[in-house]
Amino acid sequence: MSDAHATAKGSIASAISSAVVQLVREYTGRGPTRARTYMHEDLITTVLQDTLTMGERSLVRDGEGDLVLASRKAFQRTMSHRLTAVVEELSGRRVLAFLSDNHIDPDIGVESFVLVPRDERHDDGDVLVGDDASHG
């Protein structure tokens, strides 16, 4: 990978991290304090740390961790279209699937975006590539 390509990829990853933090803040009232985005082939994953609000921390302390996780799932469902749109805009790639989850202790969240492979079409008909082609 050339230095220019690595720098561009790093800039995209940084922009995605910032956008994800901003959207989480907008929806939950508090954004994570750390975020790092990893990009590899057809996968983009943002790992978020220190995500819980003060109210969620109180609920966890009082034994309501399951309620906090259920609430986070609801936020993830409502944010999914905006998260997907920003990743598509910043990466220049189309998102095939969005997966999201949170963990209470340690306080970590993951937002993953599976991208449409560059050599696969979904709009003009299915084209299977690689190992999948032998199973079709």
Q: What is the pLDDT of residue 134?
A: 45
Q: What is the pLDDT of residue 123?
A: 53
Q: In terms of pTM, does the model score above 0.75?
A: yes
End-to-end CA distance of the chain: 33
Q: What is the pLDDT of residue 8?
A: 73
Separation of alpha carbons 74 and 79, rounded Å: 9
DSSP assignments along 109-122, one per residue: EEEEEEEPPTT--S
Query: In Å, what is the CA distance from 6 to each residue of 10, 13, 69, 81, 87?
Result: 6, 10, 36, 28, 18
Domains of the chain, with CATH numbers? 3-117 (3.30.980)
pLDDT digits (tens, 9 = 90+) for 48-100: 999 999 999 999 999 999 999 999 999 999 999 999 999 999 999 999 999 99
Query: In Å, what is the CA distance from 114 to each residue of 40, 50, 90, 98?
Result: 10, 24, 14, 6
Quote the tokens at residue 123: 């709009």
Residue whose token pair is 């993951």: 110
Q: How confident is the model at residue 119 (pLDDT cuts 50, 70, 90)?
A: confident
Radius of gyration of the chain (CA): 17
Mean pLDDT, rounded, of the chain: 89
Angle between helix 65-91 and 3-28 (nearest 10): 140
